[in-house]
Amino acid sequence: MASGYKDELNRIARGAGIIFGGRLASVALQYLFVIVVSRGLGAASAGIFFLGFAIIGLAAVVGQMGLHSGVLRYVALYNGIGDGARVKGTIFTALRLAAGASIFIGLVLFLKADFVSQSIFNKAGLLPVLRLFCMALPFLALMIVLIHCIQGFQQMKYVVYVRDLLQPLICLLGASVFISLGFSVRGVVLSYIISVALGLALAFFFLKVVFLKPIGAVKPTGETKKLLSYSFPLLLVTLLIFITQWVNILMVGYFRPAQDVGVFNAAARTAICLGIILVSFNTIFAPMISDLYNRGEMERLAMLFKIVTKWVFALSAPGFLLVVLLAKEILAIFGTDFIAGWASLIILAGGQMVNASSGAVGYMLIMTGRQNVELFNSLGAATVNFILCYLLIPPYGIVGAAVATATTVVLLNLVRLMQVYALLGFHPYSVKFLKPFFSCIGAGIIIMLFKALGQGLSLGPLSLLAILVIVFMSIYFFFLRIMGLDEEDRIILQVVRSKIKGARQEGTGVEK
């Protein structure tokens, strides 16, 4: 049956692999940054940093005014028809508006930093950190807008250079140096400011030299009203996404001491790593949804929905089970103070696994013209998350925050699944899910025995963790192979093998 979908499956597998590589590098660098900051500063000081990071992130969303979405649309549109004047006008207008708004919001936040730190979060140590973070706000907002300008030219490699590699790498290296020199929290904030400033400079260089130079010295034609009328309503969507992702950190900071913020952030950042598989496949599958739906090929769309969701589940399930079995060992990487977040990590990972198991269900709504339905879904999710955090964090601390977040994710995806079934008439599940499910359970049972044996040996925590991960993954894929691969699974394995073969040939100088 899968042979009829071979072209689409090859495109999905190859595209997801490319995107996965870039996003994996970004996630790895950001995760290492969290580890360096957590180990170097301790739970309390790391909590202060990440609380300030969340606040400045919220301010940056407002400062962008939704313009990152506007430039993405209009740069692509005008560049597609060869209208260089309007391409330049859109970019220059967006940069002026974003610069003015972010500087204004940064000044207001700087002046009100004492109120935010003392009256809202009741943390005196947050004041100098928040004021220093305000310096990063214009750089951050403009960098994001410029990255979306480049994306509008449909050249993703330059986006990867800035967003996924340069900025997080400089931030990681800077934090490591400043912490080693004893600069504490302010040094880490300074490393972040430097990273976004350099990221902005590189993004501007790429935009000017690679994209705007070929256009020539045409006079820019700005359409401020059109740009704002499209961008500003999307500010609400961006705010909802940000609030859903970061409200737990902000509310832990509101109700609990800084140390709890640091511990919860480590657990949350770890759980979010489980979503990288879903993001990689969604990025390439989303435009296919739109294309197949517009051509009325609903049966093909339904089948691809099932196949892609099974792939995401099969590749995400091992990570989830490893988190459940090795939660304490994973958090020990951040420092002994962070092991207290093991229960929160398991709960958050459960929510991410439900998200992965639902596949591209959100895009199924957006790409078939039901974007307003998804907007209400996002609004409902943000509201539920806020209410649950408000109710559960005071009595249960970071465990309550984890329950609130995971419950929101589960409810959101259940609602989306019901909507997709009601509106489109299909769902993403089949009996083929049982193979990765039972393979994962079998590997989990064996790894529990290995873990018990390993604890009796004189192995360090990192060595034991690495061995257990390798053994688990080997057993998991061995069980999958024994149970028999489906035809669509052979397609994705063929893509992986071709990538490995190509890498070997490049390394040995063999011509392909």
Q: Report the b/e string of 77-90 with b at 16+ CB within 10 A.
A: ebbeeebbebbbbb
Instruction: Examine the pLDDT at 355 and tell me if it is beyond 80.
Output: yes
Asked, for residue 127, whether it belongs to a domain, the answer is: yes
Rounded Cα distance, 247 and 51, in Å: 10
DSSP secondary structure letter of residue 117: I
The residue with tokens 């961008």 is: 231
Among candidate residues 231, 254, 277, the one where a domain is terminated: 254
- Count of Cβ atoms closer than 10 Å to residue 173 Cβ: 16
Residue 137 and residue 105 in contact, taking contact as beta carbons nearer than 8 Å? yes
Asked, for residue 76, whether it belongs to a domain, the answer is: yes
- Tell which residue, 142, 114, 143, 131, has the closest CA to residue 52: 131
Rounded Cα distance, 191 and 174, in Å: 5
Instruction: Examine the pLDDT at 446 and tell me if it is beyond 60.
Output: yes
pTM of the model: 0.80
The residue with tokens 């996404």 is: 241
Of the candidate ranges 100-114, 122-136, 238-252, the one whose mean pLDDT is the lowest = 238-252
Instruction: Examine the pLDDT at 265 and tell me if it is beyond 50.
Output: yes
Asked, for residue 123, whether it belongs to a domain, the answer is: yes
Among candidate residues 200, 233, 254, the one where a domain is terminated: 254
Question: What pLDDT shows up at residue 13?
Answer: 57
How would you classify residue 359: left for phi > 0, otherwise alpha for psi between -120 and 50, otherwise beta? left
- Tell which residue, 175, 142, 228, has the closest CA to residue 49: 175
By percentage, how much of the chain surpasses pLDDT 70? 85
Question: What pLDDT shows up at residue 286?
Answer: 67
Residue 227 and residue 67 in contact, taking contact as beta carbons nearer than 8 Å? yes
Domain count, the chain: 2
Domain that holds residue 84: 26-254
* pLDDT tens for each residue of 311-334: 888 888 888 888 888 898 889 889
Asked, for residue 334, whether it belongs to a domain, the answer is: no
Residue 53 and residue 269 in contact, taking contact as beta carbons nearer than 8 Å? no
Any idea how long the chain is?
Answer: 512
Question: What pLDDT shows up at residue 4?
Answer: 52
Asked, for residue 104, whether it belongs to a domain, the answer is: yes
The residue with tokens 């949350």 is: 268
pLDDT grade for 89, boundaries at 50, 70 and 90: confident
Asked, for residue 327, whether it belongs to a domain, the answer is: no
Q: Angle, nearest 10°, between helix axes 487-508 and 298-325?
A: 70
pLDDT grade for 512, boundaries at 50, 70 and 90: very low
Cβ contacts of 445 within 8 Å, gap of 6 or more:
none
Higher pLDDT, 245 or 462: 245
Q: Report the b/e string of 454-468 with b at 16+ CB within 10 A.
A: beeeeeeeeebbeeb
Among candidate residues 239, 254, 269, the one where a domain is terminated: 254
* pLDDT tens for each residue of 139-167: 999 999 998 888 777 677 788 888 888 99
Per the prediction, the chain carries an average pLDDT of 82
Asked, for residue 169, whether it belongs to a domain, the answer is: yes
User: 56 vs 135, 136, 485, CA distance in Å?
Assistant: 10, 8, 47
Rounded Cα distance, 381 and 68, in Å: 23
Asked, for residue 489, whether it belongs to a domain, the answer is: yes
